Each structure stands twice: as structure tokens, then as C-alpha cells.
Amino acid sequence: LVVMHDDSVDRMTNGSGYIREKTYAQLRELTVGTHERIPTLKEAIEAIGKSVKIAIELKGPGTAIPTARIIQEYIAKGWPTDHFYILSFDHIELYEFYKIIPQIKRCATIYGTMVGLSQYAQEYGFNAIATSYEYATEKFVNDAHKHGLHVFVYTVNDPHIIKQLLFIGVDGIVSDYPDRVQTEVQFMQDTLIIGRTPFAQSGL
């Protein structure tokens, strides 16, 4: 398993082509930036360590089972289960992961919204739902919370929009600038606008 945002290597490396069409050896020959290589999932986990919680998005088909096996290795070493969070647009992969390690929290990601989303998430054992920030209305958030689900939104870099989302009660914000999220969280806590502490995730 390697860690990459895109489904191809074109944008981030000196190579071209889809990741799924390359061998591990071919991917490791590519450079990211000057000397860096595409990291494996294990290398990324080791680099991050226990300093922050790790959100892992399952991007490709067949990634749920090997990801679960790797996380099991770290749990066996004493890492807490709540150190990891799994999310994916591919809800089949998410459900496959759930069948292996049900105690790890999982987030069903969508673009937009859907009728009965909260009930659907509950049925398949998801703990949270995530959508693009444009679709995160107060009604959307309240409905999820009534069903015991957290709400995450992506990808938000504008401080004004961050403040609006915190005001309606989202639980997590994916951002390329987590410091901006933290600034707005602190401001709203200081002014007693919110009564609980959302957490910020940096964009992956």
C-alpha cells in the first residue's frame, strides 16, 4: 500500500500513469519533489507516530483488507484503536474494513447529500458522514447528530466559511490550513459561541 492523493502519479511525481497500473518497484523509482519517494502506508504511520490521530482514506479497490491488516499490527504493538479513523467514498471497501476491525471508527464520504443518509450510515456500521462543505447545512448536521453520527466537511480553507461551519456544529473540518481552523475554533470558544470542541484535520 502506498500513500497518494491522486489516482495517477502525473501531478505529484516525475512520472506519469495510473497507480493501479504500476508495480511497487516502479512507484518507488519515482521522485516527489527533489529526493522524496512515494511513501508506503507503514512509512507514513511511522513518520506521524502517535503525535496526532491518523485519518486514512481508502482510495483504491481492494485496499480495505490490507489496510486493516497493517492497523492490526500497530494495535498489537499497543497503539489505541481510537488513534485511527478510516474514511472512503467507496462504501463497499469501508464495510469490508468494518467486518475485520469493527472497533475502528469509519466515515462514509459523499459528494452532495442523499435521502436517508443517516439511516444508511447506521445500517452499515459507519460512525460519521462527510460531504463537501457546500452541502453541510444546519439541517444536515442536526439530522446526523440525532442518529449519533459525526459530521465532517471537506476541503475548507476560507476562515469565514470555517466559522460558519463551526457555528452550525460540524465535528471535523478537512483543510489544507489546519492552523486557520484552530484559530476559528479558539475564537468561538473564547466568545462562548460554541459549547464543544470540534477537531481539525489537515487535508490528506
pLDDT digits (tens, 9 = 90+) for 57-106: 999 889 999 999 999 999 999 999 999 999 999 999 999 999 999 999 99
Are 167 and 188 in contact by the 8 Å Cβ rule? The answer is yes
Are 104 and 127 in contact by the 8 Å Cβ rule? The answer is no
CA distance 183 to 39: 30
Q: How many angstroms from the chain centroid is the CA of residue 130?
A: 9
Residue 196 has pLDDT above 60, yes or no: no
pLDDT at residue 115 in the model: 83
- The cell for 180 is 486557520
CA distance 86 to 77: 19
pLDDT at residue 193 in the model: 56
CA distance 142 to 151: 9
> Which DSSP symbol is given to 203?
-
Q: What is the mean pLDDT of the chain?
A: 90
- The cell for 191 is 466568545
CA distance 103 to 87: 14
CA distance 133 to 53: 22
> Which DSSP symbol is given to 13?
S
Sort 86 into a burial class: Cβ within 10 Å, 0-12 / 13-18 / 19+: buried
What is the pTM assigned to this prediction? 0.84
Helices (H), the chain: 24-29, 41-48, 64-76, 91-100, 117-123, 138-146, 159-167, 178-190
Please count the residues of the chain: 204
